[in-house]
Amino acid sequence: MANTYSQLYFQFVFAVKGRQALIPRKYKEELHRYITGLVQNRKAKMLAVHCMPDHVHIFVGFNPTILISGFVREIKVESNEFINNKNWVRGKFAWQEGYGVFSYSHSQIGSVINYILNQESHHQKRTFENEYRQLLEKFEVTFDEQFLFDFFE
């Protein structure tokens, strides 16, 4: 074939270090715009983003020439720096190590976007920990409970 064609849709989920609720609600839209720019600068298409106080969901149309781990690392590092430079939190903001990434088909785009954009109502019914475990179980991802979350003590 002369060209490369792809259809890749990924949802990325990662948490604030120590699972602290550090993302201020009043800055959420500004952070959404910043993360959208980071995604677009990496030649991916932002489909949905939603930051909760303690975690974020990002749903993108993905470019197959990009390494997933590098993409997430760069998004986390640059959004970290952005939040710290804005002085939105006391002390130093950081994302927890690790992330979840889940793939979807084209027919699921609408439901995934709806799910991500309605995070506020989802979390009135269940915690992020339960939501994340359900995603891992739904996608049959094997995990070790002791390494799932990094809580502050």
Question: The domain that contains 129 carries what CATH number?
Answer: 3.30.70.1290
Whether the predicted pLDDT of 123 surpasses 80: no
70 occurs within a structural domain: yes
Does 129 or 85 have the greater pLDDT score? Answer: 85
Query: Which residues contact residue 24 at a Cβ distance below 8 angstroms, ignoring those fewer than 6 apart?
Result: 53, 88, 89
153 occurs within a structural domain: no
| Model pLDDT, residue 111 | 96
Q: Are 117 and 16 in contact (CB under 8 A)?
A: no
Cα–Cα distance between 35 and 140 in angstroms, integer? 28
- The predicted model gives 120-138 an average pLDDT of 80
Read off the pLDDT band of 4 (50, 70, 90): confident
Give CA separation, 63 vs 4, 56, 124, in Å: 11, 21, 34
pTM of the model: 0.88
The domain in which residue 71 lies consists of: 9-147
Q: SS3 of 77, please?
A: helix
Phi, psi (5° rounding) for residue 90?
-75, 140
